[in-house]
Amino acid sequence: MKFMIQKDYLVQSVQDVMKAVSSRTTIPILTGIKLVVNEEGVTLTGSDSDVSIESFIPSEDEGKEIVEIISTGSVVLPARFFSEIVKKLPKETVEVEVQNHFSTMIRSGKAEFNLNGLDAEEYPHLPQIEEENVFKIPNDLLKNMIRQTVFAVSTSETRPILTGVNWKVDGKELTCVATDSHRLALRKATIQSENDSAYNVVIPGKSLSELSKILDDSNELVDIVITENQVLFKTKHLLFFSRLLDGNYPDTSRLIPNESKTDVIVNVKEFLQSIDRASLLAREGRNNVVKLSTLSDGVIEISSNSPEIGKVIEEVQSDSIEGEELKISFSAKYMLDALKALEGSMIKINFTGAMRPFVIKTVEDDSMLQLILPVRTY
């Protein structure tokens, strides 16, 4: 196998597939990147058996030659060294040639590396997915949906199912929900699909975080295929496979209160900054708790008290407060995470009492919701 390739395309592809390569694996060959060269171009694959990423570099794109293929073939190269080498090569073109016993020569300008490769036949095969039921979402929307939910997944392995994001597809609507049982993030969006199939799966939060790093901010469509134990995200030159989590996701719709006793409408930025300031002292305490009280004339008091350090009180003018008076305590970190995930300038917070979960939404948009459980303070 021998080919010449434009360096920047190779670097980008290697960076993408590296996101799936793990240094800690029980299968040694998975610490490598698989390269397969055929007449159409070069395919790179990285996998850690949970996530697999395949990136394709066509021999030409829009009439511009990217890869010159001299002979076809395949090899697996040690990922860590290969990615470092490719990044640091001196010239814009790179020549790669596999010689005897998979020894691979990588040459650019005056620099020449030899890496010991492995037989690509030994590399595990990617899942074969029948692409019958495909639905599509624009890149930028998918990226946003991940950003607005994935932070709320659980990081503890005691309930593995909560380390994933629950994706429910019902006809033309996709609902993503994440919760760690102290907070919940929900985002809905309309999808494009040929048929009205229904799915209810849980995708590992780690997989979605890696996927969102690879997606660009264009509005090109991503094809999504869900099977029994895999999900595939497919863009123009990239396939991203992830296994699904086993088990049933808890029914979260029951957690979301449908009535409220106190409604507050406030500017996101002002509110976020004042929570951020209050958390400066709260951070030292064991649980990072901030207290919110409603005062007269639409004023909200944000305060935090940490006996060893001191206390902070700040008043924020809201747009409106309706309903009962309220004093409630919550984690500053959860509140900051939730506020950063929401889009829009004004938010509405619905409280149902000091000990009940409360809901945060943007005023202009109903497709997004954040829910936080208060903290008991004595």
Provide DSSP, 29-58. GGGEEEEEEETTEEEEEEE-SSEEEEEEEE
Mean pLDDT of the chain: 94
341: tokens are 């995930």
- pLDDT beyond 90 at 343: no
348: tokens are 């509405």
pLDDT band at 335 (very low <50, low <70, confident <90, very high): very high
Mean of pLDDT values over 355-368: 94
Quick one: pLDDT at residue 199? 92
State the burial class of residue 93 (Cβ atoms within 10 Å of its Cβ: 0-12, 13-18, 19+): middle
State the burial class of residue 162 (Cβ atoms within 10 Å of its Cβ: 0-12, 13-18, 19+): buried
371: tokens are 């829910």
**Do the Cβ atoms of 240 and 213 come closer than 8 Å?**
no
Give the amino acid at 207.
Answer: S
Quick one: pLDDT at residue 324? 96
Which tens digits make up the pLDDT trace of 292-311? Answer: 999 999 999 999 988 888 99
Which tens digits make up the pLDDT trace of 155-211? Answer: 999 999 999 999 999 989 999 999 999 999 999 999 998 888 899 999 999 999 999
Q: Which residues contact 79 (CB under 8 A, 6 or more apart)?
A: 18, 21, 31, 32, 33, 46
Whole-structure pTM value: 0.93
DSSP 8-state symbol, 121: G
Nearest-angstrom CA–CA distance, 232 and 221: 14
Nearest-angstrom CA–CA distance, 112 and 107: 4
**Do the Cβ atoms of 204 and 160 come closer than 8 Å?**
no
DSSP 8-state symbol, 160: G
Give the amino acid at 324.
Answer: E
Nearest-angstrom CA–CA distance, 104 and 255: 57
Quick one: pLDDT at residue 196? 81
Quick one: pLDDT at residue 285? 60
- pLDDT beyond 70 at 84: yes
Helix (H) and strand (E) counts for the chain?
6, 29
Which tens digits make up the pLDDT trace of 240-271? Answer: 999 999 999 999 999 999 999 999 999 999 99
Pairing of strands 103-108, 111-116: antiparallel
Quick one: pLDDT at residue 174? 96
pLDDT band at 113 (very low <50, low <70, confident <90, very high): very high
DSSP 8-state symbol, 343: -
- pLDDT beyond 80 at 286: no
- pLDDT beyond 70 at 378: no
| 297 Ramachandran zone, left/alpha/beta (phi>0; psi -120 to 50) | left
- pLDDT beyond 90 at 25: no
- pLDDT beyond 80 at 283: no
Nearest-angstrom CA–CA distance, 101 and 117: 8
Nearest-angstrom CA–CA distance, 52 and 55: 10
Which tens digits make up the pLDDT trace of 166-180? Answer: 999 998 999 999 999
Mean of pLDDT values over 328-342: 96
Mean of pLDDT values over 339-350: 94
Taken in order of first residue, the domains within the chain and their CATH numbers are 2-122 (3.10.150.10), 134-253 (3.10.150.10), 256-372 (3.70.10.10)
